[in-house]
C-alpha cells in the first residue's frame, strides 16, 4: 500500500497561520486530499501539545496516532460537505512533528536554519520539549526561535534523548531560513552539522526545488528527498501540496517510516512536488519593486543588483542550485525514485475559471463535486482519465488537469516571497 505523507505542517499557534486549524479539520482535509499520514505540527507549543495529547490516541504501539472523533464539535467550512464515501476510508494518522528555527553566529556569519523534528511518541516528545525549554522560550510561537544553538549541538543533544528522533533540515534552499539559502546558509551539510552529519538522512526540498534539481549536487546523492507542504492552514490548496510517498505491504509504523528515510529498510517510494517555478523563491527578484528575473539575467545584466532600487536582489533557489551544482543541468539521476509534479486542484480551477479568490463558492462547488465522484484530490490529479473528468466538470478544467499531469503547461515563475502562477 502506498502511504502519502505530509510530514511538515503548522498549528494555529504559529505566526501567519489560520486560526481555524484544529486536529479535526486537519484529519478531515488530509483525507480529502488523499493523505494517509501527516505531521502534528508545533508540538513544542504547550497549548497545542496538550490538545494533541487529549485528542489523539496511538494504535498498536506503532507511533502513529489517530484523532478521537468524539472529543470535539465539528468546525468545518460551510462549503466543505465532502462526506461522499469518505467515512468508510482508513483514518488519517498523525506523527508527532514540529519545526524550530536556529539563529546563531558561525565564523562571524549569521546563520538562520529551520529544522523539522519527528518524534516516536508522547514520552519522547515531552523530553524534547523539556530540553528545548532549557534553551529558550517556546510559549510565544508554534515555531520557536533558539539563539546560540548550532545545528550540530541540537543534533547531538537530541540523539542523547532518543535515536528514534528524526532531524530533517527544512526547505533547504529557501533564501532566508534554508540550510543552503543564499542569505545565511551553508555550502555543505557538513559545515552545519559537523560530525553529527552522520545522523542526517533526509532533506526537505521545499516548494521551489524538486529532486532533479537537488541531484545536480553529487554531495546530496546519499540523502533521501523529503517533500512536505509546510502548510499554514488546512485548506486543500495548502495541506498536502507536497508530500512524501512510502510503500509498505503492512500497516505502517513510525519505525517503518524512519527506517525508510534512513535507508535501513525499503519503503521510500518518491514524492509529490509542485512545479518548482510555482514556489515563492524560484527566481531572483525584489517583491516591492515588482522584479522577477532568471539567474542568467540577474548575473549578466544586473550583476545581482535590483534595477529599480539598486539594492541586492533576493537570490532565489534556481540561482543558488546553479552556484553549488557540480553536474550539468541536463543530468538525469539513475536509480532514483520517481516523483509527481502537480499543482493544487484549487489553483487549476481558479486559473481556468479566472477567479482569483480561492474561497469562491464557485470553486468550492466544482471541487466538492469532483471529490464526491472520485474520492480524493491525488486520485483526480494523478489517475482519473480526461473523459471521466469531463463527465463531472467543464472540459477545460479536465483538459488542464491532464495537461499538468503530462507537463504541458506554462507557469509564471515565483520570486522573493511571491508564488508563481499557472498561465
For residue 129, the tally of other CB atoms under 10 A from its CB is 18
Q: Are residues 352 and 255 in the same domain?
A: no
Residues of the chain where predicted confidence (pLDDT) is lower than 50: 71-88
Give the model's pLDDT for residue 76.
Answer: 37
Cell numbers placing 270:
518518491
Residue corresponding to grid cell 545536480: 216
**Distance in angstroms (rounded) separating the CA atoms of residues 17 and 404:** 28
For residue 84, the tally of other CB atoms under 10 A from its CB is 13
Give the model's pLDDT for residue 184.
Answer: 81
Q: Are residues 71 and 181 in the same domain?
A: yes
For residue 334, the tally of other CB atoms under 10 A from its CB is 6
Q: Are residues 57 and 190 in the same domain?
A: yes
Tell me whether residue 282 is exposed, middle or buried, using C-beta atoms within 10 angstroms of its C-beta: 0 to 12, 13 to 18, 19 or more: buried
Q: Are residues 124 and 263 in the same domain?
A: yes
Q: Are residues 237 and 91 in the same domain?
A: yes
Which residue range forms the structural domain that includes residue 85?
2-276
Number of domains in the chain: 2
- Give the end of a domain, one of 276, 293, 312: 276
| Residue at 133 is within a domain | yes
Distance of CA 148 to the CA centre of its chain: 26
Q: Which H or E run includes 37?
A: strand 37-39
Comparing C-alpha atoms, which of 58, 146, 66 is closest to residue 98? 146
Total-model pTM: 0.94
Q: Are 95 and 379 in contact (CB under 8 A)?
A: no
- Give the end of a domain, one of 276, 297, 323: 276
Q: Are residues 227 and 121 in the same domain?
A: yes
* CATH at residue 229: 3.20.20.140
Mapped onto helix, strand or coil, the DSSP state of residue 41 is coil
Tell me whether residue 392 is exposed, middle or buried, using C-beta atoms within 10 angstroms of its C-beta: 0 to 12, 13 to 18, 19 or more: middle
For residue 165, the tally of other CB atoms under 10 A from its CB is 21
Q: Which H or E run includes 125?
A: helix 122-133
- Which residues, in sequence order, are bridge partners of residue 382? none
DSSP 242: S
Cell numbers placing 253:
509504523
For residue 297, the tally of other CB atoms under 10 A from its CB is 13
| Residue at 289 is within a domain | no
Give the model's pLDDT for residue 70.
Answer: 54
Comparing C-alpha atoms, which of 102, 278, 284, 258 is closest to residue 178? 102
**Distance in angstroms (rounded) separating the CA atoms of residues 340 and 242:** 9
- Give the end of a domain, one of 251, 276, 301: 276
| Residue at 264 is within a domain | yes
Within the chain, how many helices (H) and strands (E) appear? Answer: 14, 17
Q: Are residues 270 and 127 in the same domain?
A: yes
| Residue at 293 is within a domain | no
Give the model's pLDDT for residue 150.
Answer: 97
Give the model's pLDDT for residue 68.
Answer: 83
**Distance in angstroms (rounded) separating the CA atoms of residues 283 and 270:** 25
Q: Which H or E run includes 38?
A: strand 37-39
Per residue, what are the HEC states of 246-273?
EECCCCCCHHHHHHHHCCCCCCEEEEEE
Q: How far is CA 340 from CA 166, 310, 312, in A?
A: 25, 39, 34
Amino acid at each position: 500500500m502506498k502511504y502519502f505523507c505530509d510530514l511538515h505542517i503548522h498549528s494555529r499557534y504559529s505566526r501567519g497561520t489560520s486560526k481555524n486549524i484544529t486536529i479535526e479539520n486537519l484529519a478531515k482535509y488530509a483525507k480529502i486530499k488523499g493523505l494517509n499520514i501527516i505531521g502534528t505540527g508545533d508540538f513544542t507549543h504547550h497549548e497545542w501539545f496538550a490538545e494533541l495529547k487529549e485528542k489523539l490516541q496511538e494504535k498498536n504501539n506503532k507511533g502513529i496516532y489517530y484523532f478521537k472523533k468524539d472529543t470535539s464539535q465539528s468546525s468545518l467550512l460551510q462549503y466543505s460537505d465532502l462526506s461522499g464515501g469518505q467515512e468508510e476510508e482508513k483514518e488519517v494518522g498523525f506523527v508527532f512533528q514540529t519545526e524550530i528555527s536556529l539563529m546563531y553566529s558561525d565564523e562571524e556569519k549569521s546563520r538562520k536554519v529551520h529544522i523539522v523534528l519527528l518524534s516516536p511518541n508522547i514520552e519522547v516528545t515531552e523530553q524534547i520539549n523539556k530540553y528545548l525549554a532549557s534553551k529558550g522560550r517556546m510559549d510565544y510561537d508554534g515555531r520557536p526561535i533558539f539563539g546560540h544553538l548550532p545545528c550540530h549541538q541540537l543534533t547531538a543533544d537530541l540523539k542523547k534523548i532518543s535515536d528514534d528522533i528524526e532531524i530533517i533540515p527544512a526547505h533547504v534552499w529557501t533564501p532566508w531560513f534554508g540550510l543552503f539559502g543564499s542569505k545565511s546558509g551553508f555550502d555543505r551539510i557538513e559545515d552545519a552539522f559537523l560530525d553529527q552529519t552522520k545522523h542526517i538522512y533526509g532533506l526537505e526540498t521545499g516548494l521551489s526545488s524538486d529532486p532533479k534539481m537537488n541531484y545536480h549536487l553529487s554531495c546530496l546523492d546519499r540523502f533521501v528527498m523529503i517533500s512536505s507542504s509546510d502548510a499554514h492552514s488546512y485548506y486543500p490548496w495548502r495541506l498536502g501540496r507536497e508530500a512524501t510517498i512510502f510503500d509498505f505491504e503492512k500497516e505502517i509504523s513510525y519505525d517503518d517510516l524512519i527506517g525508510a528515510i534512513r535507508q535501513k529498510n525499503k519503503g521510500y517510494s518518491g514524492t509529490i512536488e509542485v512545479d518548482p517555478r510555482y514556489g515563492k523563491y524560484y527566481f531572483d527578484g525584489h517583491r516591492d519593486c515588482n522584479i522577477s528575473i532568471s539567474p542568467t539575467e540577474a548575473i549578466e545584466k544586473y550583476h545581482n543588483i535590483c534595477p529599480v532600487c539598486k539594492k541586492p536582489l533576493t537570490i532565489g533557489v534556481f540561482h543558488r542550485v546553479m552556484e553549488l551544482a557540480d553536474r550539468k543541468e541536463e543530468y538525469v539521476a539513475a536509480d532514483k525514485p520517481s516523483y509527481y509534479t502537480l499543482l493544487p486542484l484549487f489553483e487549476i480551477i481558479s486559473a481556468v475559471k479566472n477567479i482569483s479568490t480561492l474561497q469562491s463558492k464557485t470553486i468550492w462547488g466544482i471541487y466538492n463535486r469532483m471529490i464526491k465522484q472520485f474520492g480524493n484530490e491525488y486520485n483526480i490529479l494523478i489517475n482519473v482519465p480526461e473523459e471521466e473528468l469531463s463527465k463531472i466538470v467543464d472540459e477545460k478544467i479536465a483538459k488542464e488537469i491532464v495537461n499538468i499531469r503530462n507537463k504541458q503547461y506554462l507557469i509564471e515563475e515565483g520570486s522573493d516571497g511571491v508564488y508563481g502562477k499557472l498561465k
